[in-house]
Amino acid sequence: MTVTEFVERPFAKALVDYAGRNERVVCVTNDLTKSVEADLFRETFPDRYFSLGMAEQNLAGVLSGLAREGLEPVYPSFSVFATRRPYEQILLNIAYPNLPVRLIGFLPGITTPGGVTHQANDDVALMRGMPNMTVLSLADATDVETLTGVLAEIDGPVFCRSPRGNVPRLFDDPLRFGHARRLSSGSDLTVISSGATTEHSIRACAAIGDAGISVSHLNVSTLKPFTDELVIETLANGAPVITAENHLRSGGLGTAVAELIADHGLGARLHRVGIRDTFTHGGRPEYLFAHYEIDDVAIVNAANELLGSSVQFESTVAGGPRRTTLAASVNEGL
Amino acid sequence: MIRRRAFDVAVEHHGGYLIQACSSADILATLYVELMQLGPGADNLVPPRFNGTPGTGVPEHWGGVYNGPDQPTYDRFILSPSHYATAVYAALIETGRLSSDALTDYNADGTTLEMIGAEHSPGIEVTGGSLGQALSVGVGRAMWRKRAGHTGKIWVLISDGETQEGQTWEALQAAAAFGLDNLRVLIDVNGWQVDGPMESVMPVGCLRDKAAAFGCDAVEVDGHDPAAICAAVLSADRGKPLVIACITDPTTGFPALKERDDAQTHFVRFRPGEAEEYRRSSPLLVGVGR
Ligand SMILES: Cc1ncc(C[n+]2csc(CCOP(=O)(O)OP(=O)(O)O)c2C)c(N)n1
Ligand SMILES: [Mg+2]
């Protein structure tokens, strides 16, 4: 698969459009305004923008206060600073009172070269563990452009992982809350992916399909609540399942799918592609995805292991030229 | 030379943390050359490749060895804002603690010389890239050293942006409560952060006065004047942690930095041809061919 269209900074425009439609929307940043594409909002709605400096725990409390004033505060940041740093402040002051605060986490997982301090490999786990919190994960430009339509449906707090910068377009139809996208249908193998691993999964599934194996591929964007009929139906065919996520194997998509399999007594074999129980280091995302085995190659290997097949696959990414999407995170100030 | 090395890195890697080197070069030079009692650095001046994070079973490397043996009689140096790593790598090279060609590996996949250092990176003792946390680690070390009667001091360099984090003040509060006169905190007051001048993002006021109000011996000096930094250390009060607010200019050495857009200064990426202009106008590079 080659991506043919890229959209430049889709979040910047989506946020401004949303604020144009909804006057309760305000935006708060932690000294990363341009890096998280909130600069256009600052220009367009200076009266609804707040610079809180690098002080995330206070910032989370401030979000709560703004929401209690009847506003819908959006806090776009790097995912580590939107979740891990102000964790308890979010839990007690935003999730517990069930306030409509929107936490947008950029550079999720190992899509950043910034090393362990900047890599949110646990953000989904942290946020899934909070009652009242809705957890979303975006995979492409269409997802980002149509996110606000979903936000408008949700009364409580939302955490959303999102790509930034030069974002590929993979999908035509808008993001739907609680509904996975079916990317292919098949009966031998099910692949369920989320976020940045979806692009990898599309390539892997194409190679697996070419080898005569029929694959169901679903892209999941709502990680919590995780009650999607389409996912349950697909799992019910009993074919072995691979989950692929740019996150620790524990606490994210793989765990959510395992819970669903267990809860519904589905008995499908599951192979979770994700970061093993280790901390990670800095480097180009292409290198890191290969090093920590969450890339297209790892997905094909997982299929071979589950099915006893011998699909050959050479990654076009790991050793290849720098791609604009990923290199953007290398170069943009951290 | 610290500034020049950081400039070369920024040119070669299409971007880099240049202003941090420009503001802190004289502080780092004064610390490494005049003030810290570090003892000999690592045996191997060529840093090893990354081979695992702590606890993963492989023999892991600790960047602190480049700052000398971890023994109670020697001082320790904790760089808190890990995005200043380039400046520390350059300072290690200039003081013979790191091989002079080490920066060719800078930020390459699988290297330990990461753009944002972690504690496997040379000279980086605490993984401080999530800002405002490493000073507390320094407080812990100083606390035990004081109680145990160990003579090695703890030096911590923090950035001014880190003073926006509440934890910085929690750390100073504890340092004062325990009378940690073996702790020396230097703040690089370059007035700058990611979105632009700190004054426009979130003003922090006078850091000397604030640190003094927290019970520290606090002084303000010209951060480009090594003699003034040394004098502040020599005249430090007993019984209190020392905080030196080093007022610096992040465009030192590269005046062309003044012309940059606010949002493009914290992390400098050159447009085509721009690096040449920087070279031409830099007093550091007069007569230097390249
Ligand atoms: C806890 C935390 N929040 C946000 C960031 C993102 N960030 C990296 S550097 C920086 C600016 C901090 O100010 P300072 O260190 O004074 O910046 P400089 O002088 O280097 O421009 C920010 C907000 C971070 N690394 N850690
Ligand atoms: Mg600063």
CATH class of the domain comprising A5-169: alpha beta
Q: Is B280 exposed, middle or buried (0-12, 13-18, 19+ CB in 10 A)?
A: exposed
Q: Report whether pLDDT(A45) > 80.
A: yes
DSSP conformation letters of B86-104: HHHHHHHHHTTSS-TTGGG
Omega of the bond prior to A225 within 30 degrees of 0, cis? yes
Q: Is A196 exposed, middle or buried (0-12, 13-18, 19+ CB in 10 A)?
A: buried
Rounded Cα distance between B80 and A295, Å, is 33
Rounded Cα distance between A149 and A231, Å, is 22
Rounded Cα distance between B156 and B154, Å, is 7
Q: Evaluate whether residue B10 is within a structural domain.
A: yes
Give me the helix-helix angle, A296-307 and A197-210, nearest 10°. Answer: 50
Q: How far is CA B211 from the centre of its chain?
A: 19
Q: CB–CB of B201/B171 below 8 Å?
A: no
What's the mean pLDDT in A242-261? 98
Specify the pLDDT at position A323: 36
Rounded Cα distance between B73 and B50, Å, is 29
What's the mean pLDDT in A157-170? 98
Fold classification of A181-333 is Rossmann fold (3.40.50)
Q: Report whether pLDDT(A112) > 70.
A: yes
Q: Report whether pLDDT(A217) > 70.
A: yes
What type of residue is A286?
A: E
CATH number for the domain spanning B188: value is: 3.40.50.970
* Phi-psi label, residue B215: left if phi above 0, alpha if psi -120 to 50, beta otherwise: left
Rounded Cα distance between B43 and B65, Å, is 9
Nearest to A302 by CA among A291, A315, A293: A293
Confidence of residue A317 (pLDDT cuts 50, 70, 90): low
Q: How many domains does chain B have?
A: 1
Query: Of the ligands numbered here, which is closest to the C-alpha atom of B194?
Result: 1
Confidence of residue A142 (pLDDT cuts 50, 70, 90): very high
Q: CB–CB of B46/B56 below 8 Å?
A: no
Nearest to A179 by CA among A240, A116, A145, A136: A136
Confidence of residue A1 (pLDDT cuts 50, 70, 90): low
* Distance (Å) of CA A68 to CA A93, A100, A105, A222: 10, 9, 22, 26
**Protein residue with its CA nearest to atom 13 in ligand 1:** B161
Query: Where does CATH 3.40.50.970 sit in chain A?
Result: 5-169
| Ligand 1 atom with the shortest distance to the CA of B133 | 1
CB contact under 8 A, B202 and A54: yes
What's the mean pLDDT in A13-23? 98
Query: Where does CATH 3.40.50.920 sit in chain A?
Result: 181-333
Specify the pLDDT at position A276: 96
Rounded Cα distance between A71 and B28, Å, is 46
Rounded Cα distance between A325 and B7, Å, is 26
Task: Give how far A117 is from chain B: nearest CA, Å.
Answer: 5
* Distance (Å) of CA A330 to CA A144, A288, B13, B27: 21, 12, 10, 28
Q: Is the CB of B202 under 6 A from ligand 1?
A: no
CB contact under 8 A, A278 and B132: no
Number of other CB atoms surrounding residue B261 within 10 Å: 8
Q: How far is CA A141 from the centre of its chain?
A: 12
Query: Of the ligands numbered here, which is closest to the C-alpha atom of B195?
Result: 1
The pTM of this model reads 0.95
Q: Which residue is associated with the tokens 């610290």?
A: B2
Confidence of residue A330 (pLDDT cuts 50, 70, 90): very low
Specify the pLDDT at position B34: 98
Segment-wise mean pLDDT, segments of 10 residues, chain B, 290 residues: 95 94 98 97 92 87 96 98 98 97 91 95 97 98 98 98 98 98 98 97 98 98 98 95 98 95 92 92 76
Rounded Cα distance between B121 and B64, Å, is 8
Which of B130, B131, B201 maximizes ligand 1 atoms within 8 Å of its Cβ, making it the mutation to test the pocket? B131
* Distance (Å) of CA B80 to CA A183, B212, B234, B272: 46, 21, 23, 33
Rounded Cα distance between A205 and A303, Å, is 9
Which one of B116, B132, B201 has the shortest CB-CB distance to A114? B116
Domain with B271, as residue range(s), is 2-41+61-281
Q: Evaluate whether residue B22 is within a structural domain.
A: yes
Q: CB–CB of A176/A228 below 8 Å?
A: no
Q: Report whether pLDDT(A34) > 70.
A: yes
